[in-house]
Amino acid sequence: MIIYTPLSMEDVFYNANNNAERQMISYNGKSLYCEKKADGSFEIVQLLSTDPQDFLNHQLSPGTIISQTNA
């Protein structure tokens, strides 16, 4: 079977061990799915919003590092 998708393999084939450090946080009133780093900061994995304008905000784009004090 061939799967045609823009998603990464990790998103398609969920593995609980790989996602152990991921958690949902609230940042500036927006829900984010983040991965916690060793230094305590968070890397944004996914923005959870229904507002299209939120996805145009570069501060909320996947891969952005946010500090624990701001989260």
Confirm whether 15 is domain-assigned.
Answer: no
- The domain in which residue 29 lies consists of 22-66
- Structure confidence by residue, pLDDT tens digits, 18-59: 556 789 999 999 999 999 988 889 999 999 999 999 999 999
Q: What's residue 34's pLDDT?
A: 93
Confirm whether 36 is domain-assigned.
Answer: yes
What is the C-alpha to C-alpha distance for residues 48 and 11, in angstroms, rounded to an integer? Answer: 15
Judge whether residue 66 has pLDDT over 80. Answer: yes
Name the pTM for this structure.
Answer: 0.69
Nearest to 71 by CA among 39, 38, 40: 40
Confirm whether 37 is domain-assigned.
Answer: yes
Q: What's residue 16's pLDDT?
A: 59
22 C-beta neighbours (distance < 10 Å), count: 14
Q: pLDDT category, 62, cuts 50, 70, 90?
A: very high
Number of domains in the chain: 1
